Structure 1
Amino acid sequence: MLSFIVVVFLLAGMVKGMIGLGLPAVSMGLLSMLISPYQAAALLIVPSMVTNIWQLFAEGQVLRVLARFWTLLLGIIIGSIWSIFPNLGQSEFHSEALLGAMLLLYGLYGLVAKQIPNLSRYAWILSPLIGYLGGALTVATGVVVIPVVPYLQSLHLQRDDLVQSLGLAFTVSTMCLAIFLQQNPVAHLEIDYLWSVMALIPALLGMWLGTRIRYKIAEQKFRKVFFCGLMALGGYMLLSH
């Protein structure tokens, strides 16, 4: 089991190092094949938090990004508290199927979206709504991907601003997920954050390797393989549950 966790977070870290996102999606998708989504989400907390904070503060000017996207973050917080979806702790809810559908949609979106429409003029109303859905899906699947990532990409931000805004959204959603897991324990599924701390090591190593590989492989080629892989994994999770 330990070797599997190491491989998963090494791979997920490499993906994040190469394209700036994907650690939660890859790790949750693979871990949920062997353990419950609730346990997988708990394992994800420390690696996700540390790598997201790293991504957030790498470019500086955090207050400027915070001032621009505070309504998005507020929506994430509200969505994680009052979710319209069943959550990870409900045994009758197959969160693996919902996560699989999200990965499938995200992979399809990444492959077919050539020219993303510019929605920046509607950001004042879309940010809190998108944030709410992102927060609600975070406590339902353990991952904030759809619709936050496509939405931030649709604002046509500068590359550094996009990476930093993603880091901010991921950081807040991970904090909300950690609080949710702590306040909603599941019988017979104890949270052991020591395993999560241990998972940080291969995740950071993977990020370092990913940044090295990024300069040797064409980004577009890798993104195509990555999104195809997400679709395959999402399809498997959706059909098997």
Structure 2
Amino acid sequence: MTSLLSFYQDIGPTMTLLVVLTFVLAGAVKGVIGLGLPTVAMGLLGLAMSPTQAAALLIVPSTLTNLWQLASGGHLRALLHRLWPMLVAIFFATLLGSAWLGIDSGPWAAHALGGALLVYALYGLIGPELRLNPVRETWLGPLCGLLTGLVTAATGVFVIPAVPYLQSLRLSRDEMVQALGLSFTVSTLALALGLASQDVLGAQALGASLLVLVPALLGMLGGQWLRQRISAALFKRCFFIGLGVLGAHLLVNG
């Protein structure tokens, strides 16, 4: 129990409250639009701690909520058959990128995180609706996976360019939700291995990450309740605007 709480004892009550509220909000965003938990968590926590610490905290809630998302839909076998080149590239690029780049606390790390958030927000707000010719999937999928893995290794954010690529495949709603869960699960597991190879993901970090699973799940359940009562399109627009402002702040100020 001591190892579970030691991280929060070290950072103090104010930072602990920030972590809890961040994961409630991040879970709520995921509950409404089906993605965004690690993106929101990395962005907000990046204001107050190193990207390495933030990435270690999101491992358990991100993995379990993505597995929950992955388990529903009934299209897993077909999606694995179609997406395996991208998924393999994500996995190994994240591992190699962690060894090469690493999510450290250097002066460039927060700026890189801000840049990734800003690019994702701009794409969500004004990006064109893409439609990919299936013939191009054979080479574009692995390339997308390679780039996603490198961005994940450098920033802890694994939505660019994986999400635009998956959206361009014109999957059904259920297929898209499951494909996102599949991609994010692979990214999170590879990120966890990368952090472990840097001696960042020890017992203390895993314990701290396990404890934020509760606020993340509560936020996700609240977001699913909220989804039935608000316009998902309006919420999504507000989400990307807020994410863009946050990304711009981190990009400029670090």
* TM-score normalized by the length of structure 2: 0.89
Matched residue, 2:221: 208
Q: Tell me how far apart the structure 2 counterparts of residues 191 and 122 of structure 1 sit (CA, whole Å).
A: 44
User: Residues 92, 10 of structure 1: CA spacing in aligned structure 2 closer, same or farther, 3 A cutoff?
Assistant: closer
Local SS of the residue matching 1:194:
helix
Q: Which among 1, 11, 14 is matched to residue 28 of structure 2? A: 14
Q: Tell me how far apart the structure 1 counterparts of residues 158 and 23 of structure 2 sit (CA, whole Å).
A: 17
Q: Tell me how far apart the structure 2 counterparts of residues 96 and 119 of structure 1 sit (CA, whole Å).
A: 36
Task: Say yes or no: does 1:196 pair with 2:209.
Answer: yes
> Aligned letter for 2:57?
L
Q: Tell me how far apart the structure 2 counterparts of residues 96 and 191 of structure 1 sit (CA, whole Å).
A: 23
Q: Tell me how far apart the structure 1 counterparts of residues 188 and 95 of structure 2 sit (CA, whole Å).
A: 13
Matched residue, 1:236: 249
Report Cα offsets for 1:67-116 as digits up to 9, x if no partner: 11110111001211222962213x44522111111111111111113533
> Aligned letter for 1:156?
R
Q: Tell me how far apart the structure 2 counterparts of residues 52 and 6 of structure 1 sit (CA, whole Å).
A: 19
Q: Tell me how far apart the structure 1 counterparts of residues 129 and 154 of structure 2 sit (CA, whole Å).
A: 30
Q: Which among 216, 225, 236 is matched to residue 238 of structure 2? A: 225
Instruction: For structure 1, list consecutive stretches of 5 or more residues without a partner in the other structure.
Output: none
Matched residue, 2:45: 31
The size of the alignment, in residue pairs, is 238
Q: Which among 96, 117, 124 is matched to residue 110 of structure 2? A: 96
> Aligned letter for 2:101?
P
Task: Say yes or no: does 1:73 pair with 2:87.
Answer: yes
Q: How does 1:80-229 map to 2 (within 5 A)?
A: 80-83=94-97, 86-89=101-104, 91-92=105-106, 94-113=108-127, 115-185=129-199, 191-229=204-242
Q: If each structure's helix is expressed as a fraction of its own residues, which one has the higher value?
A: 2
Q: Tell me how far apart the structure 1 counterparts of residues 207 and 168 of structure 2 sit (CA, whole Å).
A: 38
> Aligned letter for 1:216?
R
Local SS of the residue matching 1:208:
helix
Q: Is the 8 A contact 1:13 1:204 kept in 2?
A: yes
Report Cα offsets for 1:24-51 as digits up to 9, x if no partner: 1100000111111101000000000000
Matched residue, 2:9: none
Local SS of the residue matching 1:213:
helix
Give the Å deviation of 1:119.
4.2
Q: Tell me how far apart the structure 2 counterparts of residues 3 and 162 of structure 1 sit (CA, whole Å).
A: 33
Q: Tell me how far apart the structure 2 counterparts of residues 49 and 158 of structure 1 sit (CA, whole Å).
A: 23
Give the Å deviation of 1:3.
1.3
Larger displacement relative to structure 2 (120-129 or 228-237): 120-129
Q: Which among 11, 16, 27 is matched to residue 2 of structure 1? A: 16
For the aligned residue pairs, the C-alpha RMSD in angstroms reads: 1.7
Percent identity over the alignment? 46
Q: How does 1:52-67 map to 2 (within 5 A)?
A: 52-67=66-81
* TM-score normalized by the length of structure 1: 0.94
Instruction: For structure 2, list consecutive stretches of 5 or more residues without a partner in the other structure.
Output: 1-14
